[in-house]
Amino acid sequence: MNRLFQFLETKLMPPLNKVANLRLIRAIMQAGIITVPFTIVGSIFLIINNLPQIIPPLAPFFEQTLLKFSPLYSVITTMSIGSLAIFYALATAYYLTESYRQEDKELSSFVAAILGLFAFLLTIIQVDITNEGAQLIQQTNDTSIIYNGVAMGAWVTRFGGIGIFIGILTAILATQIYRFCLRKKLTIRMPEGVPDGVSKSFASLIPAIFIAFTMLIINGVLATFHTDLHGLLSKPFEFVKELTGSWLGIVVIMLLIHLLWAVGVHGTAIIKNSFINPILLVSLTENINGGTNIFAGDFTNMYIFLGGAGSTLGLVLLMMFVAKSDQLKILGRAAILPGLFNINEPVIFGAPIVYNPYLIIPFIVTPIVNVSIAYFATAFGFVNKIISGIPWISPIGIGAFLGTGGDYRAVLIALINLAISIIIYYPFFKIYDGKLYAEQQKN
């Protein structure tokens, strides 16, 4: 272990430190941290809404009591976890501009945040351009609708985790346009004595026009190809449908999911929910009728997403019981309850893992190791095939036991994977925690 720490500290961490200290990376990490209260509050009400699945014997009681008010309190989850992309767009532009303000005090972080949100909102509407001109997309299917170009589920779909990456990109673009306008004096300057709020609003007018035309051009060009920024993001991953039949294919799927998460894209929604889940359901049906599919049902949440994508329950336990820094210690205590039910937005955006070079490596490696163990344990007959659907929020071990028809050995595999996740995260966590603790002592 000492040799591992020495290798990490002398060979791996110096370049990662340089990346972590980049202005852009710091801004995105700070944006992730600022979303923590929203993810924790949203997680609490998400758990409440799933109590009948968590405790099936009490389902009738919950349905006659708490769940009667679900439309009321579910709004909190929708407007918190379901709106993360909005928070990211605002916060990324704000913190990025704050770093630039050390060199140029004329910049306003608040104005930049509003401009960043404006740029992101310009990507929400889906427009298609044909020979007949531009038209708003209208579409209806079993799970969602697109009304006047806006994709709707329980809420505007692109406001959630699936839109975070685009929110970050547009916030960066808006910030750079804003800086360019100020450097070139392309702003409206009000005379002295005009209230500060009025002055700032007029100062943002010309940057807003530049941003509007920039996004108009981007959207227009993509619309001629019958897509947009959000659609463009998912296009390269449609081939994953062909990867579910082999160990190597499943490893590639896990790698893609977590690489996307590492840069702020909801990899689970983009790849698993969009492309993989329908295949898993078909495989589960075949297994119920005597099939022998390994990757079926909720294989990922049973064995891999322990605590959520990246197997972060092990990381949360390290935060709770090993961390020296107050930031990780408090975050661990706050994230343990959602983590037990495979909800890990508080960790992904609070530690943060997104754009954090210290934690990205174990976040990507751990699921690959876990899926390999679970895959070969099933392939060699050590555990039963999955023959039952389970709620994705089933705690560790319980989901594995139920999904395999009551095979206690599946619980053992899940616990082994948890232990391995702790081992893999530990050295990277230790170095990151030490960095935060040193900063805490310095301040």
pLDDT (tens digit per residue) in 329-348: 999 998 999 899 888 888 98
**168 alpha carbon, distance to own chain's centre:** 12
Q: Are 298 and 403 in contact (CB under 8 A)?
A: yes
Mean pLDDT over 362-372 rounds to: 94
Mean pLDDT over 372-381 rounds to: 93
* Residue 360 identity: I
Task: State yes or no: pLDDT of 242 exceeds 90.
Answer: no
Q: Are 119 and 173 in contact (CB under 8 A)?
A: yes
Q: What is the pLDDT of residue 164?
A: 83
User: Using one digit for the tens of pLDDT, what is the confidence trace for 54-66?
Assistant: 677 888 999 999 9
Residue 163 CB-density burial (10 A; 0-12 exposed, 13-18 middle, 19+ buried): buried
> Given its phi and psi angles, is residue 266 left (phi above 0), alpha (psi -120 to 50 degrees) or beta?
beta
User: Using one digit for the tens of pLDDT, what is the confidence trace for 282-306?
Assistant: 777 778 778 888 888 888 889 999 9
Task: State yes or no: pLDDT of 26 exceeds 60.
Answer: yes
Q: What is the pLDDT of residue 256?
A: 86
Task: State yes or no: pLDDT of 15 exceeds 90.
Answer: no
Average confidence score pLDDT of the chain: 85
Residues in CB range of 425: below 8 A, 6 or more apart: 314, 315, 318, 359, 362, 366
Task: State yes or no: pLDDT of 3 exceeds 80.
Answer: no
Residues in CB range of 357: below 8 A, 6 or more apart: 16, 17, 19, 20, 25
Task: Mark out the alpha helices in 235-350 (DSSP H runs).
Answer: 247-262, 267, 277-288, 299, 313-321, 326-340, 345-350
Task: State yes or no: pLDDT of 94 exceeds 90.
Answer: yes
Please give the Cα distance from 289 to 387 (Å, whole number).
9
Mean pLDDT over 358-370 rounds to: 92
Residue 75 CA neighbour count, 13 Å, CB half: 4
Task: State yes or no: pLDDT of 8 exceeds 70.
Answer: no
Mean pLDDT over 100-108 rounds to: 87
pTM of the prediction? Answer: 0.74
Sorting pLDDT into bands at 50, 70 and 90, what band is 120?
Answer: very high
* Residue 161 identity: G
Q: Are 73 and 363 in contact (CB under 8 A)?
A: no
Please give the Cα distance from 182 to 203 (Å, whole number).
9
Q: What is the pLDDT of residue 240?
A: 63
Q: What is the pLDDT of residue 238?
A: 61
Instruction: Give percent of the chain above pLDDT 90.
Output: 37
Mean pLDDT over 159-170 rounds to: 86
Instruction: Give percent of the chain above pLDDT 70.
Output: 90
Q: Are 385 and 293 in contact (CB under 8 A)?
A: yes
Tell me the residue length of the chain: 443
Please give the Cα distance from 49 to 74 (Å, whole number).
8
